[in-house]
Chain A
């Protein structure tokens, strides 16, 4: 019994050490995530919903992991320039328009970190440099 307790405590201490030794990048990612959530609440939640569930066939949900992964490079363009092309999300076609939203580069990075790590996704960090690159490739 005593051995078991010691083992348990050791594991606890090691895992504690592991978690406290977060890299600078994860800390930055967390900060982006938190700020991104505020941006999401202010600019996106009205249509896309608190859980990213969308609305009927009018507004696409943000919960399709495959879509979010394959279109990650386009997300900045979608948000900044709006969307008027048809999008297929969860196998359903959405043809409504999304209005352009003129956000600063840092805000785009933060809100994209939020929507690609919230709603059941785990895509990690997305930097302002990536935003600039992706915006340069907008159609």
Chain B
């Protein structure tokens, strides 16, 4: 280390290596209410975290087929709530969601799930027509119809999206335009405003990050 140049280059190299090794992989947070559970182990007790998960569901899809969580087994998926006659936030939401659908079309691990909140009008046949016209009629993007109770409960309790019937509103329903990202363990990993292009771009970046978690 007589030559100061050598010393500095060694220092530089060391710093670079150190920062590179310290760089942690980005991981998406886990949302929802948490609970803890004590688990018995050989040497006493340990505490496990119980995360909030999407419960079992059963809805009719655009082909009038009853689908359940099994459809989304070992998939991550993007869920939202809409109705076909909505002209406020839904068109822009689905326009953005369609770009995501096209980007991840070839990835078998990614799916999309749109729930209608118009339980009076949006029967499966209406949903099928809607999907065809949006040019996303594909098993990868499920459009589901269910009774008011189950759809509204799963929206508010599980996906944490506010929806309600509002007779004062011109279209009869009000709802939030979130795109909710669900992982393979049914946990919420993100909620993005589907009408906001920046947040949709964030979701586009977050989907591969979430997929990476399952690669190991």
Instruction: Write the residues of chain A forming the contact surface with B, with a CB cutoff of 8 angstroms.
Output: 46-47, 49, 55-59, 96-99
Does B68 sit within 8 A of A, measured CB to CB? no
B87 touches A56 (CB 8 A): no
Contact B133 A56 (CB under 8 A): yes
Report Cα–Cα, A138/B171, bound state, in Å.
Answer: 24
A58 and B93 CA atoms in complex are apart in Å by: 14
Q: Is the CB of B88 within 8 A of A56?
A: no
The interface residues of chain A lying within 8 Å CB-to-CB of B136 are 56
Bound-state Cα–Cα, A97 to B133, Å = 14
- Whether, in the assembled complex, B92 has its beta carbon less than 8 Å from a beta carbon of chain A, the answer is yes
Q: For residue A99, which residues in chain B have a CB less than 8 angstroms away from its CB? A: 87, 170-171
Provided the pairs A49-B95, A99-B170 are in contact, do residues A58 and B88 lie with their beta carbons within 8 angstroms? Answer: no
**Can you list 9 residue pairs at the A/B interface with Cβ under 8 Å?**
A49-B95, A56-B98, A56-B133, A57-B132, A57-B133, A57-B134, A57-B135, A58-B130, A58-B134
Within 8 A of A (CB), among B159-184: 170-171
Which B residues are in CB contact (< 8 Å) with A97?
85
| Chain B residues whose CB sits within 8 angstroms of the CB of A56 once the complex forms | 98, 133-136
A49 to B91, CA, bound (A): 9
Known contacts A49-B95, A57-B133; 10 additional CB pairs below 8 A are A47-B87, A47-B92, A55-B95, A56-B133, A57-B132, A57-B134, A58-B134, A59-B91, A96-B133, A99-B87
**Taking the complex as formed, is B89 at the interface, i.e. its CB lies under 8 A from any CB of chain A?**
yes
A3 → chain B closest CB, angstroms: 53
Give chain B interface residues in 9-39, CB to chain A under 8 Å: none
The CA of A58 and the CA of B85, in the complex, are separated in Å by 10
Interface of A is mostly: loop
Shortest beta-carbon distance from A47 to chain B in Å: 4
What is the CA–CA distance of A24 and B95 in the complex, to the nearest angstrom?
Answer: 40
Q: How far is the CA of A96 from the CA of B195 in the complex (A)?
A: 21
CA distance A46 to B94 in the complex (A): 11
Known A55-B94, A55-B95, A99-B170: A46·B89 in contact at CB below 8 Å? yes
Q: Which residues of A contact B88 (CB under 8 A)?
A: 46
CB of A68, distance to nearest CB on chain B (Å): 20
A46: chain B residues within 8 A (beta carbon): 87-89, 91-92, 195
Nearest chain B CB to A89's CB is how many angstroms away? 13
**CA–CA, A32 to B69, complex, Å?**
53
What residue of chain A has the Cβ atom nearest to residue B85's Cβ?
A97
Task: Report B87-143 residues with CB < 8 Å from chain A CB.
Answer: 87-89, 91-92, 94-95, 98, 130, 132-136
Q: Which residue of A lies closest to B89 (CB)?
A: A46
- Cα distance A58–B127 in the bound complex, in angstroms: 12
For the complex, what is the distance from the CA of A28 to the CA of B87, rounded to whole Å?
Answer: 31
8 tightest Cβ-Cβ pairs between the two chains A and B: A57-B133, A56-B134, A47-B91, A58-B133, A56-B135, A46-B92, A56-B133, A55-B91
Q: Closest Cβ of chain B: how far from A77's Cβ, in Å?
A: 18
Is the pair B95, A98 in contact by a Cβ cutoff of 8 Å?
no
The interface residues of chain B lying within 8 Å CB-to-CB of A58 are 91, 130, 133-134
Closest residue of chain A to B171 (Cβ to Cβ) is: A99
Q: A6 CA to B132 CA in the complex, in Å?
A: 63
